[in-house]
Structure 1
Amino acid sequence: MIGRDADLAKLYERLGEVRAGAPFTVIIGGEAGIGKTRLIREFEAGLPSDVRLLAGQCVDLGTVAAPYAPVKAALRTLVSEEGADRVLDAVGPGRAALVALLPELASPDVGASPPAAQAAAGAATGQLHEAIAVLLETFSRERPIVFVIEDLHWIDAATLALLRFLMRALGSSRVLTVLSYRTEDVTRGHPVRPFLSEAERDRWVERRDLGRLSRAQVRKMAKSLIVDKIPSETVLDAVFRRSDGVPFFVEELVGIDGCRDEGDVPDTLRELLLARYERLSEPAQELLRLISIGGVCVSHSMLSAVYTGTADELDQAARESVLTGVLMIDGDDYTFRHALVREAILADLLPGERARFHARYAEAYEAAAAAGTRRLAAEISFHWLGAHDAGRAFPATMQAMREARAATAYATAAQLGERALGLWDVVPDPVAASGTTKLELMGRTASHLRNAGEGERSLALVKAALAECPRDDPNYPRLLRDKALYLASVGKPGSIEVLEEALAALDALGDPGPNELRATTLTALAGRLMIDGRLDESVEVAERAFEAATAIGSARYSSIALNIAAGSRATRGEVELGIELMERARELADGDGAALLRYWVNASDLHHLIGNHKEAVRLAEEGLAQSREQGVERSSGVILASNAVEPLLALNEWERAAALVDRALALDPPTPFAVYLLRGKIWSLLWQGDTDAATELYRSARTSIVSVMEVEMQTRLGSGRLAAELALANDDLPGAWREARAILDEELLPLPGYAEPYLWVAARVVAALRARPGAVTDTVRAEVEAAVPEFRALLERLAYWPTASMWSTMFEAELAEASEGAGTGVAGTDVDAWKAAVAATAAPSAPGFLAPYALLRQGEAELAAADRIGARASLQAAFDVAQSGGVKAVRDRILRVAAAAGIGLEGVGGGAGLVAPSGGIADSVASDDAAATAELTARERQVLELIAEGLSNRQIGERLFISGKTASVHVSAILRKLGAATRTEAAYRAGALR
């Protein structure tokens, strides 16, 4: 442990934090031989007795590792310590998923019933992830847990996805996760690389890269290893030079006869790694070659099965290998002292010898699988491939794919499916061996890819299957349906046309009658038509889908079809009937999880859009809880989370909404679902007053947003409105107009719940352009004025929607001009229009941010009309509502308006760190403030004036021809000199100076 004291101390420090209830992850990286395993072993050896250790190691099985292998090893330790009953009780609803992972738990003793077994076979990845997280959280309440996974460079895709989930989901546990990986093996394109990049951004994760030892440390280490004779300085220098400071190489060099003579030091790395091996007898060398094929660690029982000699010969060869330090004994396993030694011996095998050894392992694993409950098909497949026996590798690969699917390891199942497809043409009778056709295998593998989040690859594979599939093959319409679903899942256009083609293909097969494929295809088509805004067509197709589903007795698809018809009917104006049909769809679901999730998704969205925000939150959260139970939080759960976010924001529940967004985004959802969440997060940042952060996040997400806008009207409308608001906030009036006028480009009548607030934002843009006509060209100004009647006409066409009156009132208030007084001829200065807007936004259906905004605008209109008494009352009311509702952007604007007008507001200290008296603003500048402002430089005074105008750092930089970073430096200096806590307080004082 020379040179590693600080690293070891840091691990114990993190363990102390975990004891206190703060879960943490430490990722240890370094080159081969640098001491990662030694450090972890020393840490494990020093763990207090009240800490539970659960450890697993990734296995080198080539490009497709056995799914969840290290996690299974860790959890089996827990099962052996606590018993199967207690483990299954602790995991609760995730019982079936855990049984799917560890089938040995499915015994009568633990109460596994046939329905539970069936549920386990169909358990989703998310449910398994949740189950493991719950298990670790539950037992960590009793004793802190150290959860170790070593050798991430060999990790399987399923375990990597689980670790990504656990790092975010174990928020209320006492779990210290320790991971290790070999840096030189995690090259560009390795799946662990993006995982490490993500981890670096998490404040509960620490990466520690172990460095090489210094010359002094190598000398100290060498001397500590040689107890009988002190080596010469020449030998010590040679050890440092040839080990290059890598601890394992130092041990190996010193271990060669005590390194008494420089001539004993090998010249090459390969010679060094094989030095101990080559000094062994031939039987011991043969045993080590055999073990190297099995991996870094091989159990004694497995070694006995593959070894051809007697038990005594095995023991003698193993004892010799252990005594010379090549092997170590770990319980019932033989382990190479270092993976590098195993790799060097493995590379020394002859081709024929390698194939024979692989065949022995394959046969031994087949026998073990037949005799026990553990799934070993991945290992069998790997070894038959190593033995170059495709005929026996193929069925094992198919079985491994089924086992991976049963364990919800979709990524591994997909990899194995691709391996099976690669073997298809070299196997004598693949259909008989697999029990399926090539087209069915391609379709199944594409489905696994989609469930693993590999949308593009799943789409490519289903396209390849369609290219091989004859049009008169029964698989053809099914593949078309799948292609349409995959197109939609990655946010690409064309799914409607492909679904229509699938229906035509079904008709061409001469089987127009009802069946499940027809019902699911019609249902999918109705849903896509609804999302595309083709409501009349959606209703017609949904009713056909309902008839088909009813004819085959499918309550699930009957419910979903009626659900879609209800949503489409409501959106086109039949709101009461839509709600009634939606509730009937819930009754039809009759406990079916998939149908109920579709109900919760569409019902919560509908209630939000008609202004019933509390009911929308209730429905969305009810569905979200069930999505976690069903293990589909990453798909349906993410949609439900986004459906809860928007009404929560409408209710000014900013923190609850942010927590939902962060959790859902941590699940790495598909692109369309992520876009829904990001849109809510960006809008929240904007109205919370952080324009810079909102703008930056929008820029980073714009590519994804635009791709989904192409295929979804609701995303075009919601994201178009957001982009226009951002442009307004950044004083980009030409950009705001481009985004605002886009609503007029819709070929169909826009969805009212999304279109009406969009039209309100368009009115704000028009008002801003009228106030600053020089911001755009004469041509654009003419275009703007010509569009206003079109906006009004569109509002009139949407007048059937429950919230239409409120949004129309807001629209008109933005554009109405005062009939007389200072505001005459200026848009948005009609006091009566804003009083009507204030009354409209007091309704429960109005989003919470609108009430303080309308009051603010009323106050501004009253100021324009020289009604200071009325303005003060309106601004005070606006401030109180904005402050209590947490609408920070409106609150800050209120303070700027009041400061500029010299109006004092009560209770301002809660937002800006000061309390204004009832008199004029100028009277509130104390003598110490005046002294502080005297210290400002001329440039800082310029920046201060622009802060008072509400400009961002970037806008200040553009106005003063400096960089945004330089502007930020000036702002920081101003805040420091003025003793201001926020930009708002600085702006307030800037108003006082004027």
Structure 2
Amino acid sequence: MIGRDSELARLNELLEGARSGAPFTIVIGGEAGIGKTRLIREFERGLAPDVRLLAGQCVDLGSVAAPYAPVKTALRTLVAEVGADQVLEAVGPGRAALVALLPELAASGSAADAGEIVIAAGGAGSGQLHEAIAVLLETFSRERTTVFLIEDLHWIDAASLALLRFLMRALGSSRVLTVLTYRSEDVTRGHPLRGFLSEVERDRWVERRELGRLTRNQVRRLVRSLIVDESPNERVLDTVFTRSDGVPFFVEELVGIDGCRDEGFVPDTLRDLLLARYERLPESAQELLRLLSTGGVRVSHAMLSAVYRGSDDELDAAARQAVHFGVLTIDGDDYAFRHALVREAILADLLPGERARFHARYAEAYEAQGAAGTRRVAAEISFHWLGAHDAVRAFPATMQAMREARAAAAYASAAQLGERALSLWDVVPEPEAVAGMTKLELMGRTASHLRNAGEGERSLALVRAALAECPEDDPQYPRLLRDKALYLANVGRPGSIPLLQQSLEALESRIDAGDEPARELRVTVLTALAGRLMIEARLDEAVETAELALASALELGSSRAASVALNIASVSRAALGQVDRGLAGLEQARELAAGDGSALLRYWVNASDLYYLIGDFPEAVRLAEEGLARAREQGVERSSGVILASNAVDPLFALGEWDRAAALIERALALDPPAPFRVYLQRAKLWALVWRGEPERAAELFRAVRPSMVHVMEVEMQTRLGVGRVGAEIALAVGDVSAAWREVRVILGEAQRPLAGYALPYLWVAARVVAAARDRPESVPDAEREEILAAEEGFRALMVDLGFWPTQPVWHAFFEAELASDAVAWRRAVGAARQPSARGFLLPYALLRLGEAELAAGDRPAAKEALQAAFDSAVAGGVTAVQSRAARVAMAAGVALDGASAGDAGGGASGVAGSDDPADATAELTARERQVLELIARGLSNRQIGERLFISGKTASVHVSAILRKLGASSRTEAAFLARALR
């Protein structure tokens, strides 16, 4: 090991961190021959006996690698070490998914009903498999620190790459060091690994290292370490450095040609260098190496024996010569090329006919192995028959490989194989008979695999292509319409409802003709339609459609479908104001689920959300956490579990459980959930930042994530209202009334009556915007101010229209208090905030506003009492923003609060909060900063301040930041209030 001391030390340092409970991932890249493998081997040799190594290597199978190939190798090492029984016991509820990946586990005695597990595995999703592997690694790492090593990521399959993304975030409580290597020059534009590498650079628990070339002195040291019997002269050393460019493998090859004794013999090209050892071998050994190169970087002795045409003795003799000359190495029962570059050079040297014959031999050998049932090898068979240019035999293997990938929840690989099968469809005889399905059905299944792999746009494109080829009287037509509707919803695009309605129309004629599958499909389409209608707040239609779905499901005897349909009908009725009937219907839906995991999760999602919206926060938390526990048991924490986690977050905030809620958010975001679920979590995180006193940080994060939220907002009213409300609160917190108005005015343009549970707090924020525009006319342009004030009537009418909702009296009281802005109205708001259905942050906020109103009225004793109560309530409830603002308001008014400190007032380094004279708060401001502060107090934006003072908006922003820091204010609003109070 020369020139890699720091990298080796870093690996050992990270291993010690993992040993102490700090899991980490290191990604090591570099060009071919730079020494990645050598570094890893040295690291492996130094591992202590108490460290478990689970290693896998990606396989070069062209554009579609065998799904989970490197992961299977690593996990089989664990199974061989601890036994199948212990592995299945450790993985618990995830055993079905694990058996789908490793079918040999089904024979274990621990699998009480192996057949049942295998059947269940057929429906295991990738999320369940990911969870199962994470649990497995986490569990066994408690016993022994684990190094999880995957080499050659440039050949990785899509399924394994998705798993690595998950594990890097999910192994937070493990003792696992994940080590990944890749060849950098192979990761070209468009390579799937490219995006992965960009992502990992942003993760604080991941480190990426690129190995550099050796220096001249390091090359000299390496050459001298390789030549032990004599010392090469300086000219030879310089020649080796020049021709190797400091790449260690090339140095070794140059030295290995003849020990550098003949400085005149240096290959002219890289190809000559790579083939130098190979060409010195006898023809029998060269033929073996050509055959071996067709099989991959590594081939087992058994497989090589099956494809080799000579005797066993001839095989052994040829292999021995290749090992002796340093072209091959032996690793257990496998032969491996000493370096992948050598294999690639030999492979490129094959004649076309020779290559095809070798591929055919491998395909036949893998077919024989597959018939024995020892491994799933259809992907390998497909690859080699394609290499042999035999499409007829490649096609059935490709179809089987697609099924195997689907069974192992490797949806990305299944989709790639489906696309390969479609490309072969028109060149093989009777493809429908061979495939066991029509071309349209294959297109539909491939689109489904793409969707499950997260390739929403590609799945949509493929299902569109299928519909373009599909006659309207084809049995697949209504199913493809349904799929297109679902895929549109997945990518956040409108248009699902008309497609589902069209699908129902197409199904009616088939049902009239006695088509039984059409009746079953009709139930799923009706349920999907009811769900989309509910999400778009077309509630009467949603109830009607869900009732039809319920009747059809009961007629078919499907309890699961009946439960989901009744669930949707009940939530829609509740949103219409029939809350008690809706809650009763949800309980009936739970009973109908009869233990069905999928239907129960739908119950927990909707029930927890409804209880939160009606103000029963403890019950909402209980239901969400109950469902989350079940989601983890079923291995779907990344999908249903994320929704349930977000459903627990809001009621926890309402109860003042900020830390518990924050932990749920971070855990769920770490699971890299699908886009809509991420939006729910980000919205909650942003809102918490505002009320925990970090509005500027919230504004920065909102600017970053808002574009990714737009698609979901377009098709989900609850998301439009939730994100819009948070956006308005952030804008108000940083003093941008115009931005707040752009957020709240949306509610007046909704085509349907807004969902009450989401709309009521939105209307309260809208009232704050109206009050800000009225009380600070300079904060918005005149025309916009008139528009805002004119909207007050519409907001009032909507607040009255939503009077049927249980929490409306609470929000109505706050709505009126914001607009009246007097002590009487705020006393009513304080009373409303003491109701059990009021969210916890509202009481300290109302008390703060009451204190401000009392100060404005000149009643200092009443103001002090209200501000003290606000401060105490904010401290108890963790509402940091109110706590700080109450302390600052009291300080500016010269009112002392018990328990308040300079830190509470946000004085920081300026010492403002602790000053006896409030006027000292501006002592550290420059003359220009005083001018800027005065304009902040008038509500002007940075751009407007710049125009007024003839400076740039960016310069104004710098002044604003300095003012906030010196005043200890957390937002422009607080700085403006303090400036007015001081003035």
1:633 partner letter: E
1:773 partner letter: P
- Rounded Cα–Cα distance in structure 1 between residues aligned with 2:27 and 2:143: 25
Offset, 1:21: 0.9
- Rounded Cα–Cα distance in structure 1 between residues aligned with 2:290 and 2:913: 86
**Any idea what the Cα deviations from partners look like across 1:806-853, whole Å, max 9, x if unmatched?**
11111100111xxxxxxxxxxx1x101100001101112111221111
Q: Which moved more, 1:724-733 or 1:19-28?
A: 724-733
Match of 1:885 among 877, 887, 896: 877
User: What does 1:675-754 align with in structure 2 at a 5 Å threshold?
Assistant: 675-754=679-758
**Any idea what the Cα deviations from partners look like across 1:685-715, whole Å, max 9, x if unmatched?**
2222222222222222222322222222212
2:593 partner letter: A
Offset, 1:649: 2.0
**Any idea what the Cα deviations from partners look like across 1:8-45, whole Å, max 9, x if unmatched?**
11111111111111111111111110000000000000
- SS of 2:715's equivalent in the other structure is coil
Q: For residues 197 and 595 of structure 1, do their structure 2 counterparts lie closer, same or farther at Cα, with a shift above 3 Å needed?
A: same
2:306 partner letter: A
Aligned to 1:275: 276
Offset, 1:646: 1.9
Q: For residues 987 and 801 of structure 1, do their structure 2 counterparts lie closer, same or farther at Cα, with a shift above 3 Å needed?
A: closer
Offset, 1:92: 1.1
Aligned to 2:823: 831
Offset, 1:946: 8.8
Aligned to 1:183: 184
User: What does 1:634-649 align with in structure 2 at a 5 Å threshold?
Assistant: 634-649=638-653
- SS of 1:106's equivalent in the other structure is helix
- Rounded Cα–Cα distance in structure 2 between residues aligned with 1:973 and 1:834: 31
Offset, 1:738: 2.7
Aligned to 1:246: 247
- Rounded Cα–Cα distance in structure 2 between residues aligned with 1:323 and 1:258: 15
Residue 564 (str. 1) matches residue 568 (str. 2): yes
Offset, 1:492: 0.7
- Rounded Cα–Cα distance in structure 2 between residues aligned with 1:234 and 1:39: 29
**Any idea what the Cα deviations from partners look like across 1:704-751, whole Å, max 9, x if unmatched?**
322222222212222222222222223222232232222111122111
Aligned to 2:835: 843
2:856 partner letter: A
Residue 530 (str. 1) matches residue 534 (str. 2): yes
| Percent identity between the two aligned chains | 71
The answer to whether the 8 Å contact 1:955/1:964 transfers is: no
What stretches of structure 2 of length at least 5 have no aligned partner?
none
Residue 58 (str. 1) matches residue 45 (str. 2): no
- SS of 1:264's equivalent in the other structure is coil
> What's the Cα RMSD here?
2.7
The answer to whether the 8 Å contact 2:33/2:247 transfers is: yes
Residue 90 (str. 1) matches residue 56 (str. 2): no
The answer to whether the 8 Å contact 2:884/2:906 transfers is: no
Q: For residues 923 and 462 of structure 1, do their structure 2 counterparts lie closer, same or farther at Cα, with a shift above 3 Å needed?
A: closer
Offset, 1:908: 2.0
- Rounded Cα–Cα distance in structure 2 between residues aligned with 1:44 and 1:321: 25
- Rounded Cα–Cα distance in structure 2 between residues aligned with 1:683 and 1:983: 15
User: What does 1:748-787 align with in structure 2 at a 5 Å threshold?
Assistant: 748-787=752-791
The answer to whether the 8 Å contact 2:382/2:398 transfers is: yes
Aligned to 2:24: 24
Q: Which moved more, 1:662-671 or 1:251-260?
A: 662-671
Offset, 1:203: 1.4
Offset, 1:784: 3.0
The answer to whether the 8 Å contact 1:907/1:915 transfers is: no
- Rounded Cα–Cα distance in structure 2 between residues aligned with 1:891 and 1:662: 25
User: What does 1:357-506 align with in structure 2 at a 5 Å threshold?
Assistant: 357-506=358-507
2:23 partner letter: P
Match of 1:797 among 793, 798, 801: 801
Offset, 1:116: 1.4
Offset, 1:965: 8.4
- Rounded Cα–Cα distance in structure 2 between residues aligned with 1:166 and 1:910: 44
- Rounded Cα–Cα distance in structure 2 between residues aligned with 1:9 and 1:987: 54
Q: For residues 972 and 127 of structure 1, do their structure 2 counterparts lie closer, same or farther at Cα, with a shift above 3 Å needed?
A: same
- Rounded Cα–Cα distance in structure 2 between residues aligned with 1:974 and 1:551: 66
1:595 partner letter: A
- Rounded Cα–Cα distance in structure 1 between residues aligned with 2:946 and 2:38: 53
Aligned to 2:583: 579
Offset, 1:659: 2.4
What stretches of structure 1 of length at least 5 have no aligned partner?
817-827
Residue 896 (str. 1) matches residue 888 (str. 2): yes
Offset, 1:400: 0.6
User: What does 1:253-292 align with in structure 2 at a 5 Å threshold?
Assistant: 253-292=254-293
**Any idea what the Cα deviations from partners look like across 1:571-614, whole Å, max 9, x if unmatched?**
10110010001100000000111111111111111111111112
Q: Which moved more, 1:959-968 or 1:356-365?
A: 959-968
Offset, 1:800: 0.6
Aligned to 1:300: 301
Aligned to 1:823: none
- Rounded Cα–Cα distance in structure 1 between residues aligned with 2:902 and 2:416: 57
- Rounded Cα–Cα distance in structure 2 between residues aligned with 1:169 and 1:6: 28
Offset, 1:991: 10
Aligned to 1:103: 103
Q: For residues 921 and 634 of structure 1, do their structure 2 counterparts lie closer, same or farther at Cα, with a shift above 3 Å needed?
A: closer
- Rounded Cα–Cα distance in structure 2 between residues aligned with 1:992 and 1:501: 63
Q: For residues 871 and 55 of structure 1, do their structure 2 counterparts lie closer, same or farther at Cα, with a shift above 3 Å needed?
A: same
Aligned to 2:614: 610
The answer to whether the 8 Å contact 1:126/1:628 transfers is: no
The answer to whether the 8 Å contact 1:538/1:568 transfers is: yes
Residue 588 (str. 1) matches residue 580 (str. 2): no
Q: Which moved more, 1:646-655 or 1:803-812?
A: 646-655
The answer to whether the 8 Å contact 1:259/1:265 transfers is: no
Aligned to 1:131: 132
TM-score by length of 1: 0.94
- Rounded Cα–Cα distance in structure 1 between residues aligned with 2:649 and 2:886: 26
1:860 partner letter: E
- Rounded Cα–Cα distance in structure 1 between residues aligned with 2:940 and 2:45: 58
Aligned to 1:824: none
- SS of 1:415's equivalent in the other structure is helix
- SS of 2:276's equivalent in the other structure is helix
Offset, 1:789: 2.1
- Rounded Cα–Cα distance in structure 2 between residues aligned with 1:649 and 1:591: 30
Aligned to 2:664: 660
Offset, 1:907: 1.7
2:324 partner letter: L
Q: Which moved more, 1:644-653 or 1:86-95?
A: 644-653
- Rounded Cα–Cα distance in structure 2 between residues aligned with 1:652 and 1:795: 26
Residue 343 (str. 1) matches residue 347 (str. 2): no
Aligned to 1:333: 334
Aligned to 1:822: none
- Rounded Cα–Cα distance in structure 2 between residues aligned with 1:954 and 1:726: 18
Aligned to 2:149: 148
Residue 672 (str. 1) matches residue 676 (str. 2): yes
- Rounded Cα–Cα distance in structure 1 between residues aligned with 2:922 and 2:748: 50
- Rounded Cα–Cα distance in structure 2 between residues aligned with 1:686 and 1:911: 18
1:294 partner letter: G
- SS of 2:299's equivalent in the other structure is strand
User: What does 1:826-975 align with in structure 2 at a 5 Å threshold?
Assistant: 828=821, 830-909=822-901, 911-912=903-904, 924=916, 938=927, 961=951
Offset, 1:644: 1.7
- Rounded Cα–Cα distance in structure 2 between residues aligned with 1:558 and 1:346: 59
Q: For residues 913 and 682 of structure 1, do their structure 2 counterparts lie closer, same or farther at Cα, with a shift above 3 Å needed?
A: closer
**Any idea what the Cα deviations from partners look like across 1:74-113, whole Å, max 9, x if unmatched?**
1111111111111111111111111111111111533343
Q: Which moved more, 1:845-854 or 1:643-652?
A: 643-652
- Rounded Cα–Cα distance in structure 2 between residues aligned with 1:554 and 1:665: 34
Match of 1:627 among 627, 631, 634: 631
The number of equivalent residue pairs is 974
Match of 1:788 among 789, 792, 795: 792
- SS of 1:835's equivalent in the other structure is helix
- Rounded Cα–Cα distance in structure 2 between residues aligned with 1:571 and 1:346: 66
Offset, 1:914: 8.5
- SS of 2:213's equivalent in the other structure is coil
Aligned to 1:5: 5
TM-score by length of 2: 0.95
The answer to whether the 8 Å contact 1:68/1:158 transfers is: yes
Offset, 1:137: 1.0
Offset, 1:372: 3.1
Q: For residues 949 and 302 of structure 1, do their structure 2 counterparts lie closer, same or farther at Cα, with a shift above 3 Å needed?
A: farther
The answer to whether the 8 Å contact 1:709/1:715 transfers is: yes
